[in-house]
Structure 1
Amino acid sequence: MPSSRFLAYVFAFWALALLAARPAIAQSVLRDTETEAVLNDMAAPLVEAAGLDPGNVQIVLLNEPSINAFVAGGQIIYIHSGLIDAADTANEVQGVIAHELGHITGGHINRFDEGVGAATRISLLSLLLGVAAAAAGAGEVAPGIMMAGQRAAIGKFLAFTRVQEASADAAGAEYLSKAGISGRGSLTFFRKLQGELSRRGFRRNDETEFVQTHPLSSDRIQRLRETYQADPAWEAPDDPALQARFSKVKAKLFGYLADPAQTMRLYPESDGSVEAHYARAYAYHKQAKVEQALAETEALLAMQPDNPFFLELKGQVLLESGRPAEAIESLRAATRLTNNAPLIGSIFGHALLATENAAHLSEAEQVLRASVALDRRNPFAWYQLGQVYAQKGDEPRAMLASAEQQVLRGEFAPALRSARGAEAGLPTGSPDWIRAQDVGLEARAALERQRDRK
């Protein structure tokens, strides 16, 4: 019936707006100490050039195969794993980061309501006109009016986003220049995107230009080429050390995410590079081929004996293969060499507990407390620390660790109960007692927000 189609147009528009506003909802975060360090080091000079506080800017990697990056509020840049896979150089990714910083400094997420508001007015007007046409007896015309109105509304909204994209391009070019980083990688990456669009059948015409949220790749390439080539940083060489680190994490990510057969095709046994050994180690580990995975880690350590991430990988393979006692030495060294990196420390603490040796309990508590002190938003570390306290018979602190873990997982009702139990058993006024109150307040506030939305 016309009325159902009528509503479908309305909901289609709002679905588009919602996706644009909340693109990260259904995507999982990938956390890895080495990868995060590389991304942060790639971003650091650009963050400084943008005039932002490095402590407030966060780079988050998402397990999503499409080629994309975005900001969605605050000073957080989300990068898809597919973008890392598509990039050949660290410089290419730096061009993307510079662009996203342009969105942050431009306040584009905060101005999102401007674009939605203009589109909403058109959408509502088309709704009223459609209703009026139906009431006047021209029911067959009403859906057409609605469709035209919704297309105009979406067009208005996408035109708004294209202006923001152009602004972010200009700001990104400025930040690359200030940081002394060449825009060559940015241009190379845009050419890749242009090739991807062509392979998918997009061509330059009014229809495709209308539906694209970004300016057409050819237009962006031409405009940015002129800007970048005139910049003194155009001929600046890439940082070889940063590129080597990027190549390793790219191979590591591929080995971790891809089907093992794909990994072996891209990195065959005949390839003796660091990247190939890294990727194959993960491929073998995913297939539970423990000895082959360990052979690859030993090959890596033969080349770089003190690389903490190779030591972490060896320990991880041993731990996840049911050999925690053998994993301890490598994980202890990796934790020490990274100055107690929280993610590595949480794996080390897990290995100590997994031995079921009471002699390791004190070290596990020390390591895990250090991990959560440096990164409180790590539910796995909180779970392990809770296990330590439970084994020691310290129920109040075990409940506090459970509350921390539960609130991070969005389990607010259990978190509130755990926090109250912890508060009741902890010494009044102690740091842990105060923290139990804070976690309880956070859980209670989240529950109230949930009730308000119903």
Structure 2
Amino acid sequence: MLPRAVLALLALVLLALPRPAAAQSILRDAETEAFLRDISRDMVVAAGLDPRNVQFVLVGDPSINAFVTGGQNVFIHSGLFIAADNVNELQGVIAHELGHITGGHAVRFGEGATPATRISLLSLLGAAAAVAAGAGEAGMAILGLGQTAALAKFLSFTRDQESRADQAGASFLSKAGLSGRGSIAFFRKLQGEEYRLAIPQNNEYARTHPLSSTRINNLLAVYERDKAWDAPTDKGLQSRFERIKGKLSGYVEEPRIVMQRYPEGTNTAPALYARAYAWHRSGFPDQAMTEAAKLVALAPNDPYFLELQGQILLESGKVSESLPVLRRAAIFAPNEPMILTLLGHALVTSEDKLLQAEAEPLLRRAVSLDRENPFTWYQLGVIYDRRGDKPRAALAAAERFSLEGNAMGAMMNARMAHAGLRPGTPDYIRADDIMLVAGDALDQQRRRKKR
């Protein structure tokens, strides 16, 4: 068991960190993910990273935040997306997060926590010695000072990481030919939010990040000298940003707020997107379909507009009507795994054997493009189960449970698949892999319980 001083330090450290994405809701949307990849590609290359290895994940959280975890994963809160006024502001945030990735900050956490923990342990020993000598009050004072010093040490480390990420992000924007105006505008937005929440602006030493004013001044000195400072925002990307922001608003915000932000009679793509999602979420399929139809009329071959129209039809129980719409969406976006999965789901829902035969290759292609969508594996499992192919149905279930973090479910289904598949085949080997990973996860769970 850790000493109380160490536990207190770790508790304070954990409060300063973003919540794990697993504890929040991950929002999967084909259009948004493609957009985030497109607006970031030049910065990712400028950072010396491979665009194929950097993953952008949208988190359903109203707070204005973004963070990175191990690997090359950038998590962006929906609240940040909605708070941004233009695509350049979003690019500024992403550039900063890429700075954390190239700096290895997620994996270097121990460099800041370990020295702080040592200070805390030393203060604990000093306090224990004072208490043993009969100086109880002095011992408590030593302990308190030690914890304060330990936390200050850790906060200094995180502020240094943030400053380094700011400077790295500025260089990535410059190399990509993107203006830093959006970065500065967003920091000013954060500063305004801090004023609104009455967060002190005069004591940097009690913060995980430098003062916003300090960051703005430091970055302005860099950005204003850069030749890209006056570079215009790409109009095509800005248009895509606005419609995705409308879509996201309709999906995550209260319908009342959506209708105020995008009032009836405003028939732009962002407004139609927002109202269609808001009506659909509120249980008004007819109104949602009216807005979706107007949206498709703006661009009849837009796969994402068709995807929404097909989704509303499908989830309103109009399966047969959704199929031609979703087939058109798949024609115009043959490499979008989430659109292929939605079409596959509609085909499976029909319970028609011929349509299910059409669904299988679509779903197989979807998992070849994106293996990390549990819903795709679920649909494949339904097809295999109805066909009587129990081993592959179990393997699909094992894949799904593994992605959902259900180690026991993954282990049980992988074992069933392993027992029924022919040894040496790719599916047999995959079942074996899932068993190994699930076994490690279950061992870790047992060890945690023993503690």
TM-score, normalised by the number of residues in structure 1: 0.95
**Who is 1:3 aligned against?**
none
What amino acid does structure 2 have at the position aligned with 1:126? S
Partner residue of 2:279 out of 280, 284, 288: 284
Partner residue of 2:66 out of 64, 69, 79: 69
What amino acid does structure 2 have at the position aligned with 1:37? A
Partner residue of 2:34 out of 33, 37, 46: 37
What amino acid does structure 1 have at the position aligned with 2:45? E
How many residues were matched structurally? Answer: 447
Deviation at 1:204, TM superposition (A): 2.6
Measure, in 1, the Cα distance between the counterparts of 2:18 and 2:281.
32
Partner residue of 1:201 out of 198, 203, 212: 198
- Give the aligned CA root-mean-square deviation in angstroms: 1.7
Measure, in 1, the Cα distance between the counterparts of 2:18 and 2:222.
32
Q: Which runs of 5+ in 1 are unaligned?
A: 1-6
Measure, in 2, the Cα distance between the counterparts of 1:341 and 1:335.
8
Measure, in 1, the Cα distance between the counterparts of 2:50 and 2:77.
23
**Who is 1:238 aligned against?**
233
Do structure 1's residue 319 and structure 2's residue 319 form an aligned pair? no
**Who is 2:8 aligned against?**
12
Partner residue of 1:256 out of 245, 251, 254: 251
Do structure 1's residue 440 and structure 2's residue 435 form an aligned pair? yes
Measure, in 1, the Cα distance between the counterparts of 2:83 and 2:232.
21
What amino acid does structure 2 have at the position aligned with 1:352? L
Closer, same or farther in 2 for the Cα pair 1:422/1:180, shift >3 Å? same
Report the more deviating stretch, 402-411 or 443-452.
443-452
8 Å contact from structure 1 (residues 21, 72) kept in 2: no
8 Å contact from structure 2 (residues 6, 117) kept in 1: no
Deviation at 1:363, TM superposition (A): 0.7
Deviation string for 1:86-136 (max 9, x for gaps)? Answer: 101111111111111111111222221111111112111221222222222
Partner residue of 2:270 out of 250, 271, 275: 275
Deviation at 1:8, TM superposition (A): 6.4
**Who is 1:374 aligned against?**
369
Partner residue of 1:341 out of 336, 341, 357: 336
Deviation at 1:232, TM superposition (A): 0.5
Measure, in 1, the Cα distance between the counterparts of 2:85 and 2:260.
18
Do structure 1's residue 416 and structure 2's residue 411 form an aligned pair? yes
**Who is 1:428 aligned against?**
423
Query: SS at 2:52's partner residue?
Result: helix
Measure, in 2, the Cα distance between the counterparts of 1:70 and 1:116.
18
Query: SS at 1:237's partner residue?
Result: coil
Do structure 1's residue 149 and structure 2's residue 167 form an aligned pair? no
**Who is 1:172 aligned against?**
169
What amino acid does structure 1 have at the position aligned with 2:55? Q
What amino acid does structure 1 have at the position aligned with 2:221? E
Deviation at 1:10, TM superposition (A): 4.4
What amino acid does structure 2 have at the position aligned with 1:358? K
Measure, in 2, the Cα distance between the counterparts of 1:356 and 1:42.
40
Q: What are the residue-to-residue correspondences of 1:49-64 with 2, within 5 Å?
A: 49-64=46-61
What amino acid does structure 1 have at the position aligned with 2:353? A
Query: SS at 2:24's partner residue?
Result: coil
What amino acid does structure 2 have at the position aligned with 1:13? L
Measure, in 1, the Cα distance between the counterparts of 2:130 and 2:317.
71
What amino acid does structure 2 have at the position aligned with 1:43? S
Measure, in 2, the Cα distance between the counterparts of 1:146 and 1:192.
39
What amino acid does structure 2 have at the position aligned with 1:310? F
8 Å contact from structure 2 (residues 9, 117) kept in 1: no
8 Å contact from structure 2 (residues 338, 366) kept in 1: yes
**Who is 1:185 aligned against?**
182
Deviation at 1:366, TM superposition (A): 1.4
Deviation at 1:23, TM superposition (A): 3.1
Measure, in 2, the Cα distance between the counterparts of 1:9 and 1:250.
45
Query: SS at 2:105's partner residue?
Result: coil
What amino acid does structure 1 have at the position aligned with 2:12? L
Identity value in percent: 55
Do structure 1's residue 94 and structure 2's residue 86 form an aligned pair? no
Measure, in 1, the Cα distance between the counterparts of 2:337 and 2:10.
40
**Who is 1:137 aligned against?**
134
Measure, in 2, the Cα distance between the counterparts of 1:372 and 1:61.
20
Measure, in 2, the Cα distance between the counterparts of 1:14 and 1:423.
42
Deviation string for 1:403-440 (max 9, x for gaps)? Answer: 11111122222322222222222233332222222222
8 Å contact from structure 1 (residues 397, 422) kept in 2: yes
8 Å contact from structure 1 (residues 59, 78) kept in 2: yes
Measure, in 2, the Cα distance between the counterparts of 1:412 and 1:199.
44
What amino acid does structure 2 have at the position aligned with 1:296? E
Deviation string for 1:49-76 (max 9, x for gaps)? Answer: 0111111111111111111111121111
TM-score, normalised by the number of residues in structure 2: 0.95
8 Å contact from structure 1 (residues 22, 72) kept in 2: no
